[in-house]
Amino acid sequence: MDINLSEMSVPELRRLQGRLETEIRRRDETARRDVLKQFKKIAAEHGVSIDDVLADGPAKSAPKAAPKSRKKAASPTKGKRVPMKYRHPDDPKSGWTGRGRKPRWVEAWLGEGKSLDELLIK
């Protein structure tokens, strides 16, 4: 069956589109029913009901677990220490990575009109 779409009018194309959508829905439903029949047959062969299989649990009497929430995958750098980028001028043990909120000593340093570049660890 060859159909030349370029020769069809817009109303003819819309009718064809409707027929196509109907046929696709019909085939999807048929496929779904066939798969469900197969699942029921396999479940019966194993001595369980399809409801037990679909419940994703060992038995109906067991309490169902709460649905898992979708969480974002953790960043590969999560939990890794970031090296210090800036060092306190008077206390070499204190430093700042340059991430997050500025420590008070950095704020004070900048408040005195000094440059952040002077605190860089080289």
Assess whether pLDDT exceeds 80 at residue 67: no
Interval 71-87: pLDDT, tens = 778 778 788 888 899 99
Interval 77-118: pLDDT, tens = 788 888 899 999 888 888 999 989 999 999 999 999 999 999
What residues have CB less than 8 Å from 50, skipping those under 6 apart?
A: 36, 39, 40, 43
**Residue with structure tokens 């750098």?**
77
Interval 37-48: pLDDT, tens = 998 899 889 888
- Rg of the chain on CA atoms, in Å: 33
Q: How many CA atoms lie within 13 A of 77 on its CB side?
A: 3
Q: Position 17: which residue type?
A: Q
Q: What is the chain's mean pLDDT, rounded?
A: 86
